Structure 1
Amino acid sequence: MSADSPAVGLVTAGTGGIGRAVTEELLTRGVVDRLVVVDVSEPTAPLPAGADFCQCDLRDPGRLAELVAGLPTELSVLVNVLGGERRPPVVPVDDVAWPPPEVWDDIIDLNVSAAYRLTRALAGRLAPGAAVCNVSSIAAAMPWAVSPAYGAAKAALEHWSSSLAVLLAPRAVRVNLVRPGFVWSRQWAAVDRAEFERVVADRVVLREAPPHTSREQTAADIAAAVAFLCSADARHVTGQAINVDGGATLVRAAR
């Protein structure tokens, strides 16, 4: 990429809590000059200057092809935020331990296959020095009985990401992961606030230096880690996963 060319990035699920925070952080820190923000839903508030919205369902091959065709020939950053679980699920779930095959497949597709398809389509456009950051979850690193399909999907995303880091290293393209802990989001809002409070109750209470006190993790905390991994400050960091969980995985029981 020419030194005079603007650095362009792409963020998926960019109108959600984490996606929007990532968009703002990448632009504010100057990691990129311009961002293509992709989501199935229109933003509920104006995006920051430098962000261009593209409405696209990445699971639709035709729409994905249209998206790729309209992108610049070189990208410096790709952040795959898209993930979670569809609410309501594609079919009713009576037992989360054994979701219907349609739900299992949908969760795998949303958390792994969508990232694979987009990254595969854009691999040839990643400029030397580019960074790929995939948003995973602490569910990938421990038993996740509340949704085995989700934990399995994120674990698969991480294995693929580490292999991708090896494959792209000769082209000077880095691949890393961020594992959020418990961040209040539209996914959690579709479940229940009381349930959210229950599952975070046994996390480590990581205190902050005065005058601050410990606080709930936010999308901005996740975005700061993503921005670091996509920046030149992390030019020697690849194939790594950073937990941004307030210490949850230090003592957390298997869920």
Structure 2
Amino acid sequence: MTEKQTLPPQHQDHRPGSEAQMHPQPVYISDDYKAAGKLAGKVAIVTGADSGIGRAVAVHFAKEGANVVLLYLNEHEDAELTRSEVEKCNVEALIHAGDVASEQFCREVVADTLNTWGRVDILVNNAGEQHPQKNLEDISEEQWERTFRTNIFAMFQLTKAVLPHLQAGASIINTTSITAYKGNPTLLDYSSTKGAITSFTRSLAINLAPRGIRVNAVAPGPIWTPLIPSTFSPDTVASFGASTPMQRPGQPAEVAPAYVYLACSDSSYVAGQVIHINGGSVVNG
């Protein structure tokens, strides 16, 4: 057992993992969060919305008055809970299961969103996967391509499908990671995709600024989501987040308010930036 235990040891054999099987359960909204109608009347699309950061973002957006499109791969139980939590906020939700790296799926999602509400105001590219390997030689070409397809190709496909329908004032928010700035010796492909996401964010922000569309990113550190028990060993999970200055993992509820800020007009002069939510690690990026 590790000396600095932050969580009970646990592991899930299937990916992307189930929030329902985690203990303790992640916190996706805090009791003291005070909504202020910052997204009233807006429509947001959130990928990876079944659980973790995606669920937290979807619920926070709903609290702020946005209708939300929930995209996820195949964790239906988690996704239905997210839908329920969104609808409790007296807004509407659409739900789609599928591969966001598929051009056809992305087009179908956008078409359904427009048919339902006639607009898209916010896109959150959050879906991701990781597959730890000790050595570069252990990473198969199939794994390398799969990680890139999910983590960065999907951003290209969905952003391209949504972009013609975004108006001035719209916001695109991408989830990158602390690994893009510090690296990770066992997440070579994952870290590489996150570096690509950071560059994609900065370049797209410059490209779209003349159109009044803002593009930014959030770079979480160790956050307690299903990705963690479904990809790491029980002992690694047990010490998750212990190496941060705060010596604990973060909760999705501690990340989501940054997405609210970047989605609403409070950040009207912010573009091409990355907000680092990582328990105190200084990465100067």
Under TM normalisation by the shorter chain, which class is it? 0.7 to 0.9
Partner residue, 2:208: 168
Match of 2:164 among 119, 124, 142: 124
Q: Would you say the 8 A contact 2:133–2:186 is kept in 1?
A: no
Q: Distance in 1 between matches of 2:266 and 2:216?
A: 13
1:37 is matched by which residue type in structure 2?
L
Q: TM-score, normalised by structure 2?
A: 0.75
Say whether the 8 Å CA contact 2:130–2:187 is kept in structure 1: no
In 1, Cα distance between the equivalents of 2:220 and 2:184? 14
**2:189 corresponds to:** 149
Equivalent residue number for residue 219 of structure 2? 179
1:17 and 2:52 aligned: yes
- Unmatched tracts of structure 2, length 5 or more: 1-39
From 95, 98, 101, the equivalent of 1:56 is: 98
**Once the two structures are aligned, what percentage of the paired residues are identical?**
28
Could you say which residue in structure 1 is the equivalent of 2:122?
77
Q: Any conservation in 2 of the 1:203–1:249 contact (CA below 8 Å)? A: no
Counterpart of 1:235, as a letter, is: S
Q: Please show how residues 37-48 of structure 1 align to structure 2 within 5 Å.
A: 37-41=70-74, 42=76, 43-45=79-81, 46-48=84-86
Work out whether 1:225 is the aligned partner of 2:258.
yes
Judge conservation of contact 1:217–1:245 (CA < 8 Å) in 2.
Answer: yes
The structure carrying a bigger strand percent of its residues is 1
Partner of 1:234: 267
Task: Indicate which of 217, 221, 242 corresponds to 1:201.
Answer: 242
Alpha-carbon distance, 1:95 to partner? 4.4
Mapped to 1, the partners of 2:246 and 2:270 lie a distance apart of 28
Q: Which moves more between the two structures, 185-194 or 126-135?
A: 185-194
Distance 1:115 1:61 in 2: 11
1:27 Cα shift? 1.5
Aligned residue number for residue 106 of structure 1: 146
Report the residue type matching 2:272 in the other structure. G
Please, which runs of 5 or more residues in structure 1 have no aligned partner? 87-92, 207-214
Aligned residues: 231
Q: Say whether the 8 Å CA contact 1:16–1:186 is kept in structure 2.
A: yes
Cα shift at 1:151: 0.6
Letter in 1 for 2:96: C
Please report how far the alpha carbon of residue 118 of structure 1 lies from its aligned counterpart in structure 2 after TM superposition: 0.4
Task: Report the Cα distance in structure 2 between the residues aligned to 1:96 and 1:105, rounded to whole angstroms.
Answer: 17
Q: Which structure carries more relative contact order (alpha carbon 8 Å, separation 6+)? A: 2
User: What is the SS of the residue equivalent to 2:170?
Assistant: strand
Match of 1:245 in 2: 278
- What RMSD, in angstroms, separates the aligned Cα atoms of the two structures? 2.1
TM-score (norm 1): 0.84
